[in-house]
Structure 1
Amino acid sequence: MDPVLDAFAAVPREGFLPREMRGNAAFDQPLPIGQGQTNSQPRTVADMLRLLEVAPGDAVLDVGSGSGWSTALLAHLTGPEGSVVGVELEPSLVRFGRRNLAATDQPWARIERATPGVLGWPEDAAYDRILVSAEAEELPPELVDQLAAPGRMVIPVAGLMTLVERSATGEVRVSGHGWYRFVPLRRRP
């Protein structure tokens, strides 16, 4: 059994798209959700979730939650014994994502408006898993600082899907896992 495929079946992409895009939900491509943002290509989301290795009970941070789809998928993977905090910078997408997430009835997950100038959600750190769905120019140390020991973070850095692993002793290992395109990771001052 593949927990990622199970999450995809339990949390259909269609419910996280603008009404006019829902007919395209099965297409394996990024789809626009407004504010210059996209709902990521399903194959890419699956690759990221497999690298992340979310387990039931994990505390997870979802940076760039957008439509709320990745937050809902992560919530399915953690189960009710876990917790997921999605953060999004665009206020209209925060509202859109919250509505979509609420429809999945997973109260252990929530979406917060990102604090301008701050990456992640340091108030609830440390996280067992961090998923970043926007491309950083370089690995952001403030997100690495929010990662638990042990913990895993998946983030696209300069086009390379990057896995950051922190050991129980705090040692950090970074590895690359293929080339992808994402919207840029932004932090407004």
Structure 2
Amino acid sequence: MRNYEDSYRHKGLRKKLVDSLRRKGITDESVLEAMQAVPRHFFMDTALESFAYEDRAFPIGEGQTISQPYTVAYQTQLLQVKPHDKILEIGTGSGYQACILAEMGAHVYTIERQRKLFERLKTFPFLSRYPTIHFFYGDGYEGLPTFAPFDKIIVTAAAPYIPEKLMDQLKIGGMMVIPIGGREGQRMYRITKVDDQKFEQEMFDNFSFVPMVSGKK
């Protein structure tokens, strides 16, 4: 069985990473504190553990990645997370982003469409630290209407368009952060639901995510 150890060395490397994120423009201290608290190396294959605190994305299997720390911090900062926010995450992946949100005090409902990744999360002991994370196997385009509405929605894969069903699941005044675009790259959007008919869109920087795919696998 894997030994999950968070040593002084790991904590030191994490502090260096957080300092670099601050230099790159992440200003929300609650985001930076959460990233300091959550051991990223726990979410990666042991063969990649020594690279865990580099600001890079890494493969986690099934054609998916654990996002670059800067990307995680950027999206989380745009989401303006507040304690007790009810947040829907599309694309659980390794579970790292969900843990960052839970560390910030959010109640997280997260969907993964890759069966193998979803099953792996069930045997990951670190997740027991966050009883406010609820895991679901399903199609991200459908969201979780049973548990709606949500204060915030975060999409961690590249969507070709803004999914209408997700917009329907936002509270009035709620916001969604989502990368929109094709395989050549995406633009980060923040969409605020003003009322049932009106949405405000803000555009931010360019990123590169794996594609958001419909259905379950």
Could you state the TM-score of these two structures normalised by the residue count of structure 1? 0.91
Give the aligned residue type for 1:186: V
Runs of 4+ that moved beyond 4 A: none
Cα distance change, pair 108–37 in 1 and its aligned pair in 2 (3 A): same
CA distance in 2, matches of 1:101, 1:71: 15
Alpha carbons of structure 1 residues 104 and 2: separation in structure 2 relative to 1, 3 Å? farther
What is the CA distance between 1:17 and its match in structure 2?
1.1
Q: Partner residue of 2:171?
A: 148
Q: Equivalents in 1 of 2:78, 2:213: separation in Å? A: 23
User: Which is worse superposed, 11-20 or 57-66?
Assistant: 11-20
Higher relative contact order (CA 8 A, sep 6+): 1
Measure, in 2, the Cα distance between the counterparts of 1:119 and 1:12. 31
| Cα 1:9–1:100 shift into 2, 3 Å | farther
| Aligned counterpart for 1:14 among listed residues 31, 38, 41 | 41
Equivalent runs, 1:23-172 vs 2, <5 Å:
23-77=50-104, 79=105, 82-100=106-124, 102-103=126-127, 105-115=129-139, 118-158=141-181, 159-167=186-194, 169-170=195-196, 171-172=198-199
Give the total of aligned pairs: 184
Shift of 1:175: 1.1
**For structure 1, which runs of at least 5 residues remain unmatched after alignment?**
none
Aligned residue identity for 2:190? L
Q: Deviations over 1:94-143 (max 9, x none)?
A: 1223444753511011211014x853222111110111000011111111
Q: Which stretches in structure 2 are left out of the alignment for 5+ residues?
A: 1-27
Query: What is the alpha-carbon distance in structure 1 between the residues aligned to residue 206 and residue 199 of structure 2?
Result: 21
Q: Which amino acid aligns with 1:141?
A: E
> Which amino acid in structure 1 is aligned with residue 114 of structure 2?
E
Identity of aligned residues (%): 34
Q: CA RMSD in A?
A: 1.7
Distance 2:209 2:135 in 1: 20
SS at match of 2:102: helix
Q: Which stretch of the first structure deviates more once superposed, 9-18 or 127-136?
A: 9-18
Quote the Cα distance in structure 2 between the aligned partners of 1:173 and 1:107: 33
- Judge which range, 17-26 or 49-58, deviates more: 17-26
Asked whether 1:5 is paired with 2:32, we answer: yes
C-alpha contact (below 8 Å) 1:71/1:101 kept by paired residues: no
Larger Rg: 2
Q: Does the 8 A contact of 2:141 with 2:163 survive in 1?
A: no
